[in-house]
Structure 1
Amino acid sequence: MDRQLISRLAHAHHPIAAPLTDESVARLLDRATAGTDAGLALDLGCGEGAWLVRALAARPHWRAVGVDLDAAALTLARESAEALGVVRRIGLHHVDAREFSSAEPFDLVLCVGATHAFGGLLPTLAAAREHLAPGGRVLVGEGFWEREPSQAALDGLGVARDDYADLATTTDRVMAEGWTPVSGYVSSPQEWDDYEFAWTGTLAAWALDHPDHPDAAPAQEAADRHRQEWLHGYRGTFGFVTYLLRQD
């Protein structure tokens, strides 16, 4: 079963592809756009555009650009923008985020839960810097180790121990690259549980509701496997931090 399709189905009831509640997303966007009546935002790996359409709906003088490789997700993003009346203020590009270029700099660059597209947090920040206007801000979300991971946690996430660090080390690495955290938010255990139950439950429900679909069995298997990897692997071990950054 196509991984992009799995992700779209699993995020149907939790369109923010990260362990963040709607309230947390709203607070992060408020802080990221504070003091600016108008601006231009870029989401590198926007998926269904959930961050951007919410930002535009609350900020009538902002414009936005979203970039993603999933054409179907971009279609959903456009539909959401139309439903909220912001479609004229958003541009959506079906292109690899690593290859996107723009002649216009951005006041806010987002990449929350999509740093894998660039090969990790620091390469993502290097890419964001190329798009950022002077005085601009970056909102980036990344995983970190809440505690030393077990082999089950590593296997469940499909990563190596050195792919992530603890929160202090992660923050030190960001600062060493010339970024200053002006705000930050660590997702709560409740947000993690809500996200994972939504991901696995929505995918499993789709499989149950479409028993004759050729992807029903693979979807159920993906949901069951993910639930196992989470509950018996990385739950309580893997954390998620969202930084708001400015350049030194």
Structure 2
Amino acid sequence: MNRERISGIAHTQHPIKAPLDDDSVNALLERALPQAEGRVLDLGCGTAEWLLRALASRTSLHAEGVDVSTEALDQAHRAASERGVDERLVLHHQEAADFISPRPYDLVISVGATHAFGGLRPTLAAARGHLAPGGRVLIGESYWDRAPSPAAADMFGHLDDLATTVDRVVAEGWTPIQGHVSSRGELDAYEWACWGSLASWALDHPTDPAAARALETANARRSDWLHGYRNSFGFLCLVLRPTPVLTDKK
């Protein structure tokens, strides 16, 4: 069972691939989306759930998503058709960092996908390159809520704390106009949903050649969470606008 299939099964009950509940997702989109006609881009869109919800909430929007996962994009195509928004959605199968568009976007989304660009700073730089004047960016990034254990640090690599993460964003020339720090309930619900869904699939398909691997993976990931990073991992989403150069006229 490859990583794409594992991810698809694990997110069956949690289509937003980040630790946010529906109310938090809706609040962030409400703040970030253009009120009238506009174009939205998701870099590292996966199954395009952010875009599907955006299109459902604003019938004047058009959206594009970029991802390397064929399975995720196929699922996004099916979901868009089922929800009746497929005519306003274009999906690109390629590396998000290599995506080029001749037209800018009113909102650029990249939630939980900064690894595709090599970190937070290059992700913000890429988003800026796609942004229309007056546009906004919705970005989601991990951080350490407290000092991690050595095992947790090995799993996630270098992360800053919350304040330093926001400071780095501001230093790159962005102004946060809204933010959301995932609650303990959101973080726990996400982990339980992912590894519970994967384990349930394995138990429901005992004769599938991939069942044993799926159950082993679910148990291992749940253990990594509970014994490794649960007490130190955090997740932050920010709605950003470019910071202009302001002058104090007297």
Is the 1:154–1:233 Cα contact (8 Å) retained in structure 2?
Answer: no
In structure 1, C-alpha distance between the alignment counterparts of 2:101 and 2:152, rounded to whole Å: 39
Counterpart in the other structure of 2:97: 98
> In the TM superposition, what is the alpha-carbon distance from 1:159 to its structure 2 partner?
2.7
Counterpart in the other structure of 1:86: 85
Q: Any unmatched runs of 5+ in structure 2? A: 244-250
In structure 1, C-alpha distance between the alignment counterparts of 2:65 and 2:232, rounded to whole Å: 31
Whether 2:17 is the aligned partner of 1:17: answer yes
In structure 1, C-alpha distance between the alignment counterparts of 2:216 and 2:108, rounded to whole Å: 36
Match of 1:214 among 209, 226, 230: 209
Q: How much is the aligned-residue C-alpha RMSD, in angstroms?
A: 0.9
Counterpart in the other structure of 1:32: 32
Aligned AA (2:61) = W
Counterpart in the other structure of 2:190: 195
TM-superposition CA deviations, 1:70-101 (whole Å, max 9, x none): 11111111111111111000001111101111
TM-superposition CA deviations, 1:98-144 (whole Å, max 9, x none): 11110010000000011111111111111111111111100000001
Alignment of 1:170-189 (within 5 A): 170-189=165-184
Query: Paired residues, what number?
Result: 243
Counterpart in the other structure of 2:246: none
Counterpart in the other structure of 2:123: 124
Counterpart in the other structure of 1:111: 110
Match of 1:232 among 221, 227, 232: 227
In structure 1, C-alpha distance between the alignment counterparts of 2:77 and 2:147, rounded to whole Å: 41
In structure 1, C-alpha distance between the alignment counterparts of 2:153 and 2:192, rounded to whole Å: 20
Is the 1:189–1:236 Cα contact (8 Å) retained in structure 2?
Answer: no
Aligned AA (1:159) = F
Whether 2:140 is the aligned partner of 1:141: answer yes
In structure 1, C-alpha distance between the alignment counterparts of 2:8 and 2:65, rounded to whole Å: 16
What secondary structure, in the 3-state scheme, does the structure 2 residue paired with 1:98 have? Answer: helix
What secondary structure, in the 3-state scheme, does the structure 1 residue paired with 2:41 have? Answer: strand
> In the TM superposition, what is the alpha-carbon distance from 1:215 to its structure 2 partner?
1.1
TM-score where L is the length of structure 2: 0.95
Aligned AA (1:151) = P
Is the 1:145–1:167 Cα contact (8 Å) retained in structure 2?
Answer: yes
TM-superposition CA deviations, 1:9-47 (whole Å, max 9, x none): 10011010000001110111001025x211100000111
TM-score where L is the length of structure 1: 0.96
> In the TM superposition, what is the alpha-carbon distance from 1:152 to its structure 2 partner?
2.9
Alignment of 1:50-69 (within 5 A): 50-69=49-68
In structure 1, C-alpha distance between the alignment counterparts of 2:113 and 2:15, rounded to whole Å: 14
In structure 2, C-alpha distance between the alignment counterparts of 1:236 and 1:123, rounded to whole Å: 28
> In the TM superposition, what is the alpha-carbon distance from 1:236 to its structure 2 partner?
2.1
Is the 1:48–1:77 Cα contact (8 Å) retained in structure 2?
Answer: yes
Is the 1:74–1:92 Cα contact (8 Å) retained in structure 2?
Answer: yes
Q: Any unmatched runs of 5+ in structure 1? A: none
TM-superposition CA deviations, 1:199-247 (whole Å, max 9, x none): 0000000111111111111111111110000000110211000000111
Whether 2:156 is the aligned partner of 1:159: answer yes
Counterpart in the other structure of 1:77: 76
Identity between Structure 1 and Structure 2 (%): 57
